[in-house]
A and B are shown apart, each in its own frame.
Chain A
């Protein structure tokens, strides 16, 4: 079902290009915000095998990178927040922004911990760290998100404030996609409210449509 969407004309709005691999990973939250706001952007996906040819596009040698009228912004955390502020997904005051930050940072702590052991070759060490990550860190993080959801809307609305924000989209991607795919964890088993929230956000029409048509990638 099509809904009427206002698409920003590239002659009046900034020209956005989001550069990443053909993955969801660290770019998907940004892609969804563009889609949700009906703002055009170039979804530039680099074949990982050809990374060396494209590395010059990344000021810090890492992806994702957001280009805004040609100016480059690296670091997914900075990109997510820039887009959230520009497109109205960062709450309506400093207090709400800090609650959104609390969600994003809680998930960020898990992702940073993943960076520590994900590439470790020694399987004994890796397994030990993975057990800690999946058995302790993730449940703790989910409990915090659940607490925030409960405090905000008794679990029936959004994570922060009374409209969808960066926090909701980022949490949905983590809970709905990342956790089952990467860690074989179904958050809704222990946190049904979070599961419901993730489902609600995934059902928002523009997000639902994007999930249907986006290029396929496992991660």
Chain B
């Protein structure tokens, strides 16, 4: 059995999908939360110089999305057919389209501009992304089950993470508080995912972090 060591800051954003997968698959891993001093030492090493990093038996995988895919392939979070595999990738890429919004927000230091970005996101932006994501959900079982195939995949994990963790941190709110009243199917999906026993257990015991 591989020895996994996940290295990241004491934060959710970027590393949390990995933790969700390990928890769901009951895979043992060291959830190493790196301090500022440790990070200063690591940055000085030649190599990737970024987190998260997944250490597997001494070898390293950098790049969050490379790690997501590796863990998903290894622990059954992709369907077994090629086309289903590609559909999961479509969801991953669609969720990724949201990244410029996150960067736009966090790179903005003027608090007034941040508020403007937040307001614009709630009033207009969010619907555009959520419409696209809900459309994808509808493609399988009319949107009453999981995003692709008959079991939880990386697609479900990333959408849950986006809506439960990422969007609320953008809005300065607690995880799981984003209002989905305009998107019934997504709302039901979030409830479904959150009530998976290993997920609700993790949500109950994970460290509380600002984002």
Contacts and interface: CB of A to CB of B under 8 A. Distances in A.
Interface stretch (B34-42, B78-86, B192-200): B78-86
A72 to B, nearest CB: 10
A102 B63 contact: yes
A77 B63 contact: no
Contact of A105 (B63, B90, B100): B63
28 contacts: A60-B132, A73-B90, A74-B90, A74-B93, A75-B90, A75-B93, A77-B93, A78-B86, A78-B89, A78-B90, A81-B89, A82-B82, A82-B86, A82-B89, A94-B73, A95-B59, A97-B70, A98-B67, A99-B61, A101-B63, A105-B64, A112-B96, A112-B99, A115-B100, A116-B100, A144-B48, A147-B46, A147-B47
Interface residues of B, number: 32
Contacts of B62: 102, 144
Size category, A interface? 20 to 34
Contact of A98 (B66, B87, B135): B66
Given A94-B70, A97-B70, A108-B65, 15 more contacts: A60-B94, A74-B93, A75-B90, A75-B93, A75-B94, A76-B93, A78-B93, A81-B86, A101-B69, A101-B70, A105-B66, A112-B100, A116-B104, A144-B62, A147-B47
A50 interface: no
A101 B70 CA distance: 9
B164 to A, nearest CB: 22
Contacts of A113: 100, 103
Interface in A90-113: 94-95, 97-99, 101-102, 105-106, 108, 112-113
B51 interface: no
Contacts of A189: none
B197 to A, nearest CB: 28
B158 interface: no
A53 interface: no
Contact of A94 (B63, B74, B86, B100): B74
Interface of A: 59-60, 68, 71, 73-78, 81-82, 85-86, 94-95, 97-99, 101-102, 105-106, 108, 112-113, 115-116, 144, 147
A85 B73 CA distance: 13
B157 interface: no
Contacts of B70: 94-95, 97-98, 101
A115 B100 CA distance: 7
A25 B93 CA distance: 16
Contacts of A97: 69-70, 73
Contacts of A105: 63-66
A199 to B, nearest CB: 25
Contacts of A101: 63, 65-66, 69-70
A75 B91 CA distance: 9
Interface in B131-167: 132, 135
Contact of B83 (A71, A75, A94): A71
A64 B35 CA distance: 42
B92 interface: yes
A35 B62 CA distance: 30
Interface in B86-134: 86-87, 89-90, 92-94, 96, 99-100, 103-104, 132
A134 to B, nearest CB: 16
Contacts of A71: 83
A140 to B, nearest CB: 8
A185 to B, nearest CB: 21
A116 B135 CA distance: 24
Contacts of A116: 100, 103-104
A144 B82 CA distance: 30
B2 to A, nearest CB: 11
Contacts of B82: 82, 85-86
A85 to B, nearest CB: 7
A94 B56 CA distance: 12
A82 B66 CA distance: 15
